[in-house]
Amino acid sequence: GGAILFIDEIHLVLGAGKAEGAMDAANLLKPMLARGEIRVIGATTDDEYQKYVEKDAAFERRFQKVNVNEPSVQDTVSILRGLKERYENHHGVKVLDSALVLAAQLSDRYVTNRRLPDKALDVIDEAMAWTRVQLDSQPEQIDNLERKILQLEIERTALQKEKDDISKRRLEAVGQELSHLNEELQPLKLRYEQEKGLLDQIRDANQKLDALRQKAEEARRRQDLEKTADLEYYAIPELKSKIGELMAKQARHEEMVSSGEVSQEMLSSIVGPDQVAEVIARWTGIPVQRLTQSEVNRLMSLGDRLKKSVVGQDQAIEAVADAILRS
């Protein structure tokens, strides 16, 4: 009795299941809507509303149309901040607040065929997924070394079958080179495994924490007080403490990298403005440098850039650039 049915893309019920001699879903809903037996909220776009819903006057008059405007860039940033933790737990990477702001700004400015906040969310989602893929893949430095080692091992196998002096000398050189490359590779692989192991532990712990919170919420809804108390006062705090220890360990490592005590990190689990700009660049074809350049710098160099495209009109170009700067 107290339930409200929400139908996303409600225009699809007009004609859904319709076949020769059969009723569509909308006609099945109409009598119940008219008698007040069911309450429905539907969502659709303006174009689809005009194309499908308005054509069925009997279905349309059973609803009150409520226009929901596209959120502003500032509102979109707030939405992204609210969803930040959920996305971080899903992908197992962190996203900077500056990346959220840039995603809202750049998607609003350059992705014109979609609406906020959907396009900004997809930018963040793709940037985080790409960062996760990089974490799950071997660093390029290790991959290149392993490729070289494989090539040399193939060459060594072939040279071992040869008996001439040139092949023997080359075999000796290949052996020395393999020894050198393996010495270079081993410490890199050890660093990679240590960094990845820590990041994987943090990701797994956060996912477990998210699952425990969901279980606690379900137990609270069922009024299972014993399970709710067990989760909220024992399991969840214990896991939070473990996550805090892991994060502190990661922070100490980052401090050592910053101070130069250890080499630069091989893996990065942080999504920043650069990763967001790369996603927008892939979507739009606009160079990353142009996306990340500040508005002030772009305006200051407007005259020079126009002169590269328009030749022999320097005075007119300067007048246009000055007028834009004054405005």
Instruction: Express each pLDDT in 238-287 by its tens digit.
Output: 999 999 999 888 888 777 777 766 666 778 889 999 999 999 999 988 87
Say whether pLDDT at 30 is over 90: no
126 within 8 A of 114, measured Cβ to Cβ: no
- Whether the pLDDT of residue 89 is over 80: the answer is yes
- Is the separation of the CB atoms in 71 and 116 below 8 Å? yes
pTM (two decimals): 0.69
Q: Are strands 40-43 and 94-95 parallel, antiparallel or unpaired?
A: unpaired
Domains and CATH numbers, the chain: 5-60 (no CATH), 140-266 (3.40.50.300), 293-327 (no CATH)
The dihedral built from the CA positions of residue 110, 111, 116 and 122, taken in this order, carries a sign that is: negative
Mean pLDDT of 180-207: 89
In angstroms, the CA 121 to CA 79 distance is 9
What's the mean pLDDT when you consider all of the chain? 86
Dist. CA 309–CA 305, nearest whole Å: 7
Band (pLDDT 50/70/90 cuts) for residue 47 is confident
Contact 80, 124 (CB under 8 A): yes
